[in-house]
Copies of this chain bind each other. A is one copy, B any other.
């Protein structure tokens, strides 16, 4: 029997947020624990179980949760494992899906944060009803999720959709992945900061509000605030960031010809400051039949809920898959 709720769990380096979500994408209730509190991974799973169970009981949802979806760094949909996640304290392979499933007795599916965001957008957000779209997450890094033929593309190894690591400037900026010139080094929040520092250094005689902020403290938000106030260098940084992103989207469109790109994450809130140069660069660089046709949209998920919603959306998949297996 189909149950009315799913549980979404979003695992970040600092916080683990979980929530009970209904089919329309309303977060009924949510809670959080500190991710790094337990040196032993099994103790961490225990705390999730204890705290989520309290939440489920308090909200009269016992027996009503059909599936659990987990969004986590380096999470592999096929194996149900997290492998060598740089920002988690536990190293090696973490058999998270199996452990949660054993605890809760509810089917579990996992994927990485960016894929979870894409599934969330398809289930509850801007990509509802779309069969082909690409989600781009502009955060500390650049994540992505590719949906084609109405399905998430996981690839042969469960690690597809790493568009933030397409090389957009050969021999360009060093990236955390060990290579150079990745999209992420230009269009993440960190990339915006790097551009600002580069531009300030390249034009020492151009006055800028950003010169009042120590390099170490400078954030992409500072650059945005300065750009809004008309700061020339800050405006150039957004112009450049949007252009690199638009050029890249044009190539991504050549791959899967999506109906839309959905842009999510802190930088997406920069609005036209980012979207205008991005759209212009897309139209200038895209194949003729994509120009003016592929939509470039902002995420419709509320940012506070987005991580849990994305993870939860995968819970419906877990439930359906388990139902199908049970009836076979």
Contacts and interface: CB of A to CB of B under 8 A. Distances in A.
Closest 8 pairs (CB-CB, A-B): A155-B257, A156-B259, A160-B257, A132-B156, A162-B254, A166-B251, A148-B153, A160-B256
A40 to B, nearest CB: 27
Given A148-B153, A162-B254, A177 B131 contact: no
Given A156-B257, A165-B287, A166-B255, 13 more contacts: A131-B156, A132-B156, A132-B160, A133-B156, A148-B160, A149-B149, A153-B257, A157-B293, A160-B255, A162-B255, A162-B287, A179-B287, A255-B256
Range of interface residues on chain A?
35 or more
A170 interface: yes
Contacts of A257: 153-162
Contacts of A179: 285, 287
A252 interface: yes
A265 interface: no
Interface in A285-299: 285, 287-289, 293-294
Interface string A238-273: 000000000100111011111100000000000000
A108 interface: no
Contacts of A165: 254, 287
A178 interface: yes
A15 interface: no
A67 B149 CA distance: 23
Given A132-B155, A153-B148, A163 B255 contact: yes
